[in-house]
Amino acid sequence: MAAPNPAPRPARPILRQSLSSNSFIQDHQQYKPPVPVTQNIEDVLGVSRESLLASLSNLHLNSMSPDPENVTESGIIHTIFNQQTNPLSTGTSKLVATLFYKSANPVHPHLHPDSSLNANNLPSPTVPVGSAPTIDMEKIPREPPAPEPEPLDHLYGPFVSQLCLTNFLQIIESLSTPYQRMNTSHRCLDKDDQPRVVEVTLSPPPNPEYLSFGDLRKHESIWRFEREWNVEVVLQKESVFRRHKRLVVFDMDSTLIQNEVIDEIAKFIGVEKEVSDITERAMNGELDFSASLRERVGLLKGVPADVFEKLKSVITISPGARELCRALKKLGCKLAVLSGGFQPLAEWLAEQLGIDYAFANHLEVDAASQTLTGKLVPTYPIIDASKKRELLKSLAADNGIPISQVVSVGDGANDLLMLHAAGLGVAWRAKTKVQLEAPTRLNGESMDDILYLFGLTREDIKELIAEDA
């Protein structure tokens, strides 16, 4: 005779979301055997099964075949958390993150030859710097180099992919201390299919008592995310002033134009090497700007005063600069160029781009010989870092514009003060030191990328930069 079946064992305790609830009784309900269900749907509704089925059949509903012309919100919230809603009070602050895929600089060091379209053109393998033996004791690594993050854009697409966006949201949400759920939304600003620019709105931001906005912009997790996905992230506080700017100030050399003017002048007299070395060190913040400027200007002694007319033919305006200035003017912005270069070219560039104000350094000219004396005009101030910041603030005050509606764009160390002083400071294709210290940075191919930071879409930008009929 078969042995009777043993009584079923009670269910094992399960791990709750929290370690304990507010009720001692609820914490121990899982140890009790389940209560048998004696009620049926008829008992609950108080109607017979036949009448219930008849009433449902009259609705002619088919949940599997919704009307394609009238798709409505189901009201169902899918979440791994207990709460079904995450309501936010009116006025909750928001952050806006603009993600730019760096299409001009793809990073794919681990492409397999079998999966590459250009298998024969793959670069040769190289030994990472610092990992090879050396006989120089000063160069021996004290510890193994930190592993580089695996580039993921070549696996999931050379654009801001869905997985890239999901990863970013996970990182941002993990930074809140104490932990809090965020409401998020996103817009593809250039195109919906394989977007290069995506705007993400997050609310509420991390508690500033634990993580300030400045620290969030420089957070190591975001920096690593940028390298993994080959993107750049620009974080801004959401407000009406983020979307509506009224004053934009630019550096000139290596920003609005691709040249360094003083280096171009030096070519005329054969001292380009000496001048460019000093310029590079000054722009990287290794030298005092005013002192280095005087030193470089001294090397220009004897250059014909009409050199600026000759330079106009070799000056290259940066890609997108014309379109950016045209769009900003149509939006009603005041524009200014604040340059550590020289006034004649700053004024010429302002005329070319429709810029309202031009401030730069004035070179002294010998009236008799019509050549440069190698000195600056003493009655004009040197346009250094502090002077640029001062001019930015005075232009805003003179036009009745709050600092939150001011944008500054530059690339050198002498631009850092004005980048930090503006409501939005953008380091455009900047020097290494500036990239690290500036509030935000962009390294795109066209300067009109800056318009995306105002929340404008590609269609908006096309309409703004269109030539007037």
What are the catalytic residues? 251, 253
Beta partners for 363?
Answer: 376
Beta partners for 188?
Answer: 198
Long-range contacts (CB closer than 8 Å, 24 or more residues apart) made by 456-460: 456/189, 457/187, 457/189, 457/190, 458/189, 458/190, 458/191, 458/197
| CB-based contacts of 464, cutoff 8 Å, min separation 6 | 326, 327, 330, 331, 451, 456
| CB-based contacts of 307, cutoff 8 Å, min separation 6 | 265, 268, 372
Given a contact cutoff of 8 angstroms between Cβ atoms, the answer to whether 181 and 203 are in contact is no
Instruction: Tell me the CA distances in angstroms from 215 to 206, 340, 353, one per residue in order.
Output: 11, 30, 36
Beta partners for 147?
Answer: none
Given a contact cutoff of 8 angstroms between Cβ atoms, the answer to whether 335 and 246 are in contact is no
Q: How far apart are alpha carbons 332 and 324 in whole angstroms? A: 13
Q: How far apart are alpha carbons 320 and 327 in whole angstroms? A: 10
Q: How far apart are alpha carbons 219 and 177 in whole angstroms? A: 14
